[in-house]
Amino acid sequence: MAMIKKAVKGMRDVTPEEMRLRNHVSDVIREIYESYGFTQIETPCVEHIENLSSKQGGENEKLIFKILKRGNKLDIANAKEENDLADSGLRYDLTVPLCRYYADHAAELPQPFKALQMGNVFRADQPQKGRFRQFEQCDIDILGEPSNLAEIELILAMSTVLTRLSFKNFNIRINDRRILKSMAAWAGFAEADYDAVFIILDKMDKIGAEGVIEELEKAGYPKENASKYMELFRLLEGKAGEEALKALSERMGEALSAEGRSNLEEIFSAVNAAKKDGWTLLFDPTLVRGMSYYTGTIFEVELKEFHSSCGGGGRYDEMIGRFTGQQTPACGFSIGFERIITILMEQGYQLPDEKEKTAFLLEKGLPAEKVNEAMSRAEELRAEGKCVQLLRMAKNKKFQKEQLAAQGYTEIKEYFR
Amino acid sequence: MAMIKKAVKGMRDVTPEEMRLRNHVSDVIREIYESYGFTQIETPCVEHIENLSSKQGGENEKLIFKILKRGNKLDIANAKEENDLADSGLRYDLTVPLCRYYADHAAELPQPFKALQMGNVFRADQPQKGRFRQFEQCDIDILGEPSNLAEIELILAMSTVLTRLSFKNFNIRINDRRILKSMAAWAGFAEADYDAVFIILDKMDKIGAEGVIEELEKAGYPKENASKYMELFRLLEGKAGEEALKALSERMGEALSAEGRSNLEEIFSAVNAAKKDGWTLLFDPTLVRGMSYYTGTIFEVELKEFHSSCGGGGRYDEMIGRFTGQQTPACGFSIGFERIITILMEQGYQLPDEKEKTAFLLEKGLPAEKVNEAMSRAEELRAEGKCVQLLRMAKNKKFQKEQLAAQGYTEIKEYFR
């Protein structure tokens, strides 16, 4: 069989230059999240097909790379469908494995458990620019904490990471599924229709309020519901945070979810008191977040200058119970690792200084004692924390030196016969 | 479908405690290898089935986790064998993807290219104690360097890593496939039989010279060849390094591979001149290394006190040519990352000091201004490099404090209503 040089479809190799940046960003993330008391765990890339197909993963469940059964379990002749052939698959996120991990290890873990995870996930998406079928996710989750201390810590931790990585001008948009639902109820939508309504609402920033009304009507909802719904959003235009919540409360009265409102007010109060940096926490009543497993607070980071989301998360108090049979409150945030790398690469982000780099060029036929002398000297310099590379002197030494300079070798020492 | 709490068969979750050690060891490895001029790259976990089945992987090719084709490519009704169903699989090592990477990127890479890789590989082995189906490999390779400068740099780099990780009493055993072959030729074996003979020779440390002779005869080789072969190994007993090579040369004369001999002599001379630490480089004429792709030097690390191998490698000058059609000299070393972790865990390896850790306990019903005060104070301490965790005060505060102490929280501050 012929060998294939390119990476498999939709996946890619990482160059040394990008790898340095990735390592740096990972180090910053790890250091900062650890300062908030998160501890790192790791789960396998391979997960049970049952867990991946538990309806927690939404659309991602259609994108699973499935792994062929092995040995006697694989019965090709009698196989009818994919799941006759596969009993495991590559994880499409870190949340499902985290819940499995917690279900299996809860007895040994501190309460609450603050988990940091960094690892590859896999989705068989149609490949497109900047979107790959293997990519790194980086999640923090607080399991076992029912109060919004969890949300507050998550927001402060991730905003600190972004600030440290030179991002200044970002918004953290926040909403609460309970507010979202009470607004839909107030407008007259039935509970069974919420998810469908929210999918349309989610397009507000693209199609505007008129567009949303139009789509709601097209989908068969009464015009009066759609209009009443949009009335609320018009009321909130230009109002930020606590002011918007107050306006909403005045208009909706007791119909507005009281838990949702006080939850967001407490988060606003604590985050704004503690935060030092110039980013903004914004109440966004149109924020939906796709995953149906969210039960309370939801949030999303918006990098304004790059017109880009850069991660999000929320509270999912019911997922772990599906593993354990016992409800465990949970709240998490996934930072957009690949998005950050792409932006920092484009911006020419300045990495911290590398070690001083020296190259030793050894002429061909250099006698053993001179080779040994060079080796010993290199070992001494490395022990002092420098980077030293030994190379045979090339015939085209000028070119070799230019290449080394391009790689950051500032000093070159030559050893002649 | 019911959810499954345990990790998939043969794979495992990593606890926070082990993760700290793994991160530390990874950091040390990265720092030291970089000081030798290695630069890190990454390839996808998923690789083309053609590349994984190219006969470079030996026994590992039987252990591939294969990934189901998707969409129209998957034709279950007409599938006869595994490869009708799968066109990719999980990589079983980092060497095959490295060769693919090099073949695809050679034009942009420095010559020689010194690559560092750290990543998960997957093998569907029978699970057993300490051996898992997903595990981390950590390889350094020098591509494009025909001389034994490559071997010397690899040996010095990996021995420095081991020394820094507190290993003292280890041997690096070294041999050359050309010496191995010339010894077999001298004893009268045919070239076609070398691989089979070496598999038996490889058992020397378990069954002794008598056992090897017996097995060679049982396999149908002439008694005189077996005896003549063992004569060489008896001659070398108790002789180390250069002394053993000299004895071999006196006995075999010109039949001993001259390239093999001078290669090892140069490596001995340079490594022994440069090394500072107390480990030993040993010529081991019984060292075989399983993979048939090795073409010259082979080596293996032996942790004497743990009766354990801890990685190995060698020169494989012909593998990249299979991708590119053009021979590229290559030499690599894979350090036994998982073995190192297991040993350091068992030994209670002392990690560098953690950040100072403080927990703030907030009484239930604490008014907003006090919550905010705690939050602000926590943010200040974190900015100073400390680790601070905010928790609701538990009903059983004594137990909570004990738990926190066990997690290394040396300071606890309480906030009351």
Give chain A's domains with CATH numbers: 9-146+317-352 (3.30.930.10), 170-295 (3.30.930.10), 357-415 (no CATH)
User: How far, in Å, CA of A214 to CA of A201, rounded?
Assistant: 11
Q: Is A321 helix (H, G, I), strand (E, B) or coil?
A: helix
Alpha-carbon torsion angle B350, B19, A352, A25, nearest 10? -170
Determine the 3-state secondary structure of B161 from DSSP.
helix
pLDDT reading at A251 higher than 70: yes
Q: How many CB atoms lie within 10 A of CB B282?
A: 18
Q: Which residues of B touch A152 (CB under 8 A)?
A: 375, 390
Tens digit of pLDDT per residue, chain B (417 long)? 468 999 999 999 999 999 999 999 999 999 999 999 999 999 999 999 999 998 777 788 899 999 999 988 999 989 999 989 999 999 999 999 999 999 999 999 999 999 999 999 999 998 888 789 999 999 999 999 999 999 999 999 999 999 999 998 899 999 999 999 999 999 999 999 998 999 999 898 889 989 999 999 999 999 999 999 999 999 988 887 788 999 999 999 999 999 999 999 999 999 999 998 889 999 999 898 877 789 999 999 999 888 889 999 999 999 898 888 889 999 999 999 999 999 999 999 989 877 899 999 999 999 999 999 999 999 999 999 999 999 999 999 999 999 999 999 999 999 999
Separation between Cα atoms, residue A44 and residue B9, nearest integer Å: 11
Q: Where are the alpha helices (DSSP H) in B4-94?
A: 16-35, 49-52, 82-85
Chain B residues whose CB is inside 8 A of the A105 CB are 13, 15
| Residues sharing a CB contact under 8 Å with residue B276, sequence separation 6 or more, in sequence order | A379, A383
A128 DSSP 8-state letter:
B
Please tell me the distance from the alpha carbon of residue A7 to that of residue B44, in angstroms, as a whole number. 7
- Chain B residue numbers touching A91 (CB-CB < 8 A): none
Question: Rounded CA gap, A168 and A73, in Å?
Answer: 54
Contact A79 B74 (CB under 8 A): no
Per the CB < 8 Å rule, is A103 touching B79?
A: no
User: Chain A partners of B103 at a C-beta cutoff of 8 Å?
Assistant: 3, 5
Residue B40 has its nearest CB partner, among A19, A376, A403, at: A19
- A contacts of B160 (beta carbons < 8 Å): 382
For residue B5, the chain A residues in CB contact (below 8 A) are 100, 103-104, 323-324
| CA atoms within 13 A of residue B298's CA, in its CB half-sphere | 19
Contact B382 A35 (CB under 8 A): yes
What's the rounded Cα separation, in Å, for the pair A51 and A95? 11
Please provide the average confidence, as pLDDT, over all residues in chain A.
Answer: 93
CA distances, B94 to each of A151, B101, B138, B244 (Å): 40, 10, 8, 34
Distance between CA atoms of residues A47 and B4, nearest Å: 9
CA distance B114 to A243: 58
CB-CB neighbours of B408 under 10 Å: 11
The count of CB pairs under 8 A between chains A and B is 293
Q: Would the CB atoms of B8 and A355 count as touching at under 8 Å?
A: no
ipTM of this model? Answer: 0.94
Minimum-distance CB partner of B379 among A68, A88, A276? A276
pLDDT tens-digit series, residues A155-201: 999 999 999 999 988 999 999 999 999 999 999 999 999 989 999 99
- Examine residue B16 and say whether the peptide bond preceding it is cis (omega within 30 degrees of 0): no
Higher pLDDT, residue A304 or A122: A122
φ/ψ bin of A189: left (φ > 0), alpha (ψ from -120 to 50), beta (otherwise): beta
The pTM (predicted TM-score) of the whole model is: 0.95
Name the token pair of B114. 């010194």
Q: From CA A383, how far away is CA B276, in angstroms rounded? A: 10
Report how far residue A317's alpha carbon sits from residue A349's, in angstroms, rounded to the nearest whole number.
38
Where does B165-240 have alpha helices with state H?
177-186, 194-201, 204-218, 223-236
User: The tokens of A238 are what?
Assistant: 């230009």
* CB nearest B379 (choices: A4, A50, A156): A156
Q: Rounded CA gap, B265 and B152, in Å? A: 11
Q: Where are the alpha helices (DSSP H) in A148-203?
A: 149-164, 177-186, 194-201
Which of B8, B46, B378 has its CB closest to that of A11? B46
A382/B39 touch (CB, cutoff 8 Å), yes or no: no
* Dist. CA A333–CA A301, nearest whole Å: 10
Q: What is the CA radius of gyration of chain B?
A: 27
Kindly report the nearest CA distance between residue B252 and chain A, in angstroms.
Answer: 25
Give the tens place of pLDDT for each residue, A354-407: 789 999 999 999 999 999 999 999 999 999 999 999 999 999 999 999 999 999
Which secondary structure element, helix H or strand E, spans residue A141, and what is its range?
strand A134-143
Rounded to a whole number of angstroms, the distance from the CA of B202 to the nearest CA of chain A is: 29
Handedness of CA A119, A123, A124, A128 (dihedral sign): negative
Report pLDDT for B249. 93
Q: Distance, in angstroms, between B54 CA and closest chain A CA?
A: 7
Q: Inspect the interface and report whether the beta carbons of A13 and B101 lie closer than 8 Å.
A: yes
Residue B137 is encoded by which pair of tokens? Answer: 């490999």
Nearest CA-CA distance, residue A297 and chain B, Å: 19
Q: Do B13 and A42 touch (CB under 8 A)?
A: yes
Distance from CA of A239 to the nearest CA of B (A): 23
Q: What is the per-residue pLDDT for B1? A: 47
B58 Cβ neighbours under 8 A, 6+ residues apart: B290, B291, B292
Q: B40, A27 in Cβ contact below 8 A?
A: no
Q: What is the pLDDT, as a whole number, of residue A225? A: 94
Closest to B274 (Cβ–Cβ): which among A48, A133, A375? A375
- Res B240: pLDDT: 77
Per-residue confidence at A41, pLDDT binned at 50, 70, 90? very high
Task: Give the pLDDT of residue A59.
Answer: 82
Cα gap B413→B244, rounded to integer Å: 67
Q: Do B44 and A134 touch (CB under 8 A)?
A: yes
Joined together, the tokens standing for residue A239 give: 């109002």
